[in-house]
């Protein structure tokens, strides 16, 4: 699926234009094209440092952030491949700790596209191949790979023997590709399991866990589920973790939201159950404060958009776009909007997302929803999205974009009761907001 990527670097943009012109297979999941492409490139996926492979509906990116923070706190150099990007395409590929430079990115994309020929790879397949080339050619101690979509047929699943695999929170999303039943989605995610490679997962309801168990056992992978071989709980301001090697008492993550303790614990369990890269407990502690993951309950303290709001206002950003993410966000803001302060939600959703599923967790709140388009992407029309919000009992109005919505909020604000503003519904929208605010990821 193409992500309408643009770059300020002409050489990179030239390759992104080529990439957008290819992609006839972009809506067909499968490993045939990526395997053929990597074979022509000399199979760089076979020369990667120890790989930490992470799938999930929500939380997989945050889990990758904790893995990276812990590995780097331990003194290791780390490659990271994640998607989508927020502002710059380069965010997808981090080489030994640094975002890929434009010149390197342009050269790698050109190399992959030049050799692709009749394979007709997708946007994501070309990006994955370029990342694997970059990682194979630059020494590092570890490699963190986030699944793009699903797992079993995702382009990243060509890695034959990762050091360890992990599955984060599961939910309903990407139904056109993965199905409508959570058990089927779970089976697709569990498809990253490999023979004799441990796979670490969260705790899931019995029907989901049973399906995961079937897939994992068929693959011949040791399954380490939360509540079994490892467990964690947050209380008294700490994470209390245990596994067969012992117990840990760790600080809570700096990233906001109770769900982040679950993501952090999954990363800890993955690091504790692999043998390829040593990570001391001191690095696990440091990771709780080091990990960064933009557009996930991110509090924007400075920037152009922040300055447009009255003093004392709070501006938050989250790219969550499915019902499970909405529940987490809504729970978080129950404790973040003091009595008397207006709560505004600036919302844009892609057309393949569920508006009512996203909005229902906010029902019963005193909030105003400002619906906006998502430029460059097929999205729910703001008027239809506003109607969906009203059907849940929320006040709603349309806006041209987040800047327009913030201007309306600022004009109508009571300076004695500065507003709390949440921008949510899409990582693409979040990227536009970070760019407009002048605070892109680094």
Q: Which domains does the chain have, with CATH numbers?
A: 10-290 (3.40.1190.10), 298-437 (3.90.190.20)
Residue 398: band (very low, low, confident or very high) from pLDDT cuts 50, 70, 90? very high
pLDDT at 241 over 50: yes
Residues listed for the chain:
442
Give the model's pLDDT for residue 3. Answer: 60
In the numeric block, which tokens belong to residue 306?
């922040």
pLDDT at 199 over 80: yes
Give the model's pLDDT for residue 400. Answer: 98
* Minimum mean pLDDT range among 41-45, 78-82, 320-324: 320-324
Average pLDDT of span 146-160: 95
Assess contact for 63 and 267: CB atoms under 8 A: yes
* CA distance linking residue 233 with residue 252, whole number of Å: 11
Question: In degrees rounded to 5, what are phi and psi of residue 22?
Answer: -85, -130
* CA distance linking residue 66 with residue 286, whole number of Å: 10
* CA distance linking residue 184 with residue 172, whole number of Å: 10
Q: What strands lie across the sheet with 223-225, from one edge to the other?
A: 98-99, 93-95, 78-81, 142-146, 51-55, 164-167, 199-201, 223-225
Give the model's pLDDT for residue 179. Answer: 52
DSSP letter at 362? G
Q: How remote is the C-alpha of 97 from its chain's centroid?
A: 18
Angle at 19 between CA 14 and CA 24, to 5 degrees: 150
* Minimum mean pLDDT range among 18-32, 144-158, 269-283: 18-32
* CA distance linking residue 379 with residue 375, whole number of Å: 8
pTM, two decimals, is: 0.92
Give the model's pLDDT for residue 364. Answer: 86
CB atoms within 10 A of CB 311: 7
DSSP letter at 180? S
Residue 129: band (very low, low, confident or very high) from pLDDT cuts 50, 70, 90? very high
Average pLDDT of span 20-28: 62
- Above pLDDT 90, what percent of the chain? 85
Give the model's pLDDT for residue 177. Answer: 47
Give the model's pLDDT for residue 174. Answer: 43
């Amino acid at each position: 699926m193409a992500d309408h990527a643009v770059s300020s670097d002409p050489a990179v943009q030239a390759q992104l234009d080529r990439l957008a012109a290819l992609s006839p297979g972009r809506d067909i999941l499968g490993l045939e094209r990526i395997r053929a492409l990597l074979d022509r490139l000399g199979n760089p996926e076979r020369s990667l440092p120890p790989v930490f492979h992470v799938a999930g509906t929500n939380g997989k990116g945050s889990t990758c952030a904790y893995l990276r923070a812990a590995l780097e706190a331990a003194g290791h150099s780390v490659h990271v491949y994640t998607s989508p990007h927020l502002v710059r395409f380069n965010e997808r590929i981090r080489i030994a700790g640094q975002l890929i430079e434009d010149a390197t990115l342009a050269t790698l994309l050109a190399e992959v596209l030049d050799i692709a020929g009749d394979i007709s790879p997708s946007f994501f397949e070309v990006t994955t191949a370029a990342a694997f080339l970059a990682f194979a050619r630059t020494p590092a101690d570890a490699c963190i790979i986030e699944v793009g979509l699903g797992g079993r047929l995702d382009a990243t699943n060509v890695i034959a023997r990762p050091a360890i695999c992990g599955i984060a929170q599961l939910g309903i999303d990407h139904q056109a590709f993965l199905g409508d039943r959570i058990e089927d989605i779970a089976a697709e995610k569990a498809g990253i399991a490999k023979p004799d490679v441990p796979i670490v997962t969260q705790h899931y309801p019995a029907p989901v866990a049973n399906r995961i168990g079937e897939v994992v056992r068929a693959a011949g992978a040791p399954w380490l589920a939360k509540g079994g071989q490892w467990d964690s709980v947050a209380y008294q301001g700490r994470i209390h973790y245990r596994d067969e090697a012992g117990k840990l008492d760790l600080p809570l993550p700096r990233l906001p939201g109770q769900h982040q303790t679950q993501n952090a614990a999954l990363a800890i369990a993955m690091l504790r159950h692999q043998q390829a890269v040593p990570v001391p407990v001191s690095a696990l502690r440091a990771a709780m404060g080091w990990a960064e993951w933009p557009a996930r309950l991110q509090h924007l303290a400075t920037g152009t958009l922040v300055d447009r709001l009255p003093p004392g206002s709070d501006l938050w950003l989250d790219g969550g776009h499915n019902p499970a993410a909405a529940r987490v966000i809504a729970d978080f803001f129950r404790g973040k909007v003091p009595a008397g302060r207006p709560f505004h939600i600036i919302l844009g959703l892609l057309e393949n997302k569920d508006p009512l599923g996203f909005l229902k967790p906010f029902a019963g709140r005193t909030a105003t929803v400002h619906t906006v388009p998502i430029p460059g992407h097929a999205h729910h029309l703001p008027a239809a999205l506003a109607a969906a919000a009203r059907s849940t009992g929320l006040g709603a109005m349309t806006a041209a974009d987040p800047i327009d919505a913030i201007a309306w909020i600022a004009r109508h604000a009571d300076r004695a009761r500065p507003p709390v503003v949440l921008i949510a519904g899409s990582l693409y929208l979040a990227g536009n907001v970070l760019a407009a605010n002048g605070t892109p990821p680094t």
